[in-house]
Structure 1
Amino acid sequence: MDVESVLSRPPGPGPKAPGTGTPARPGAGRRIRAAVLGVLPGSGAVAAALLALAAVGAVLGEPVLLPSLAASAAVLHHTPGLPAAQPRTLVLAHLLGAASGYAVLAVVPGSPWGAAVAAGLTFAATSLARAAHSPACATAVVVVLQDPVPVRFVPLLLGATVVLVLGGYTASRLRRAAPPYPVRWW
Structure 2
Amino acid sequence: MKRRLSVVMRRKVAIGKRLARVPRRCRAPLRGTRGPMTLRYAAWSFVSAMAGLLAISELTILLGHPLLIGSLGASAVLLFGATESPLAQPRNLVGGHVVSAVVAVVVVALLGSTPLSMALAVCTSIFLMNLTHTTHPPGGATALIGVQGAVGPSFVLLPVLTGALILLLVACFTNNVVYHRSYPRHWL
Shorter-chain TM range is 0.7 to 0.9
Equivalent residues of 1:68, 1:139 under 8 A apart: yes
Residue pairs, 1:85-104, within 5 angstroms = 85-104=88-107
Equivalent residues of 1:100, 1:140 under 8 A apart: yes
Work out whether 1:74 is the aligned partner of 2:77.
Answer: yes
Shift of 1:113: 2.2
Q: Which residue of 2 aligns with 1:125?
A: 128
Distance 1:107 1:46, change over 3 A: same
Whichever residue aligns with residue 187 of structure 2, its letter is W
Unaligned runs of 5+ in 1: 1-30
Number of paired residues?
149
Q: Which residue of 2 aligns with 1:55?
A: 58
Q: Which residue of 1 aligns with 2:13?
A: none
Distance 1:83 1:108 in 2: 33
Whichever residue aligns with residue 186 of structure 2, its letter is R
Match among 149, 153, 156 for residue 150 of structure 1: 153
Radius of gyration: which is bigger?
Answer: 2
Distance 2:88 2:42 in 1: 20
Equivalent residues of 1:42, 1:171 under 8 A apart: no
Shift of 1:62: 1.3
Match among 132, 137, 140 for residue 137 of structure 1: 140
* TM-score with structure 2 setting the length: 0.74
How large is the RMSD of aligned CA atoms in angstroms? 1.7
Distance 1:148 1:104 in 2: 10
Superposition misfits of 4+ residues, deviation over 6 angstroms: none
Distance 1:124 1:45, change over 3 A: same
* TM-score with structure 1 setting the length: 0.75
Identity of aligned residues (%): 30
Q: Which has the higher contact order (CA 8 A, sep 6+)?
A: 2
Distance 2:59 2:113 in 1: 27
Q: Which residue of 1 aligns with 2:184?
A: 182
For residues 118-175 of structure 1, give each alpha carbon's deviation from its aligned partner in whole angstroms, at most 9, with x where no partner exists: 0111111101111111100010011111123323x22222121111111111111222
Shift of 1:39: 6.3
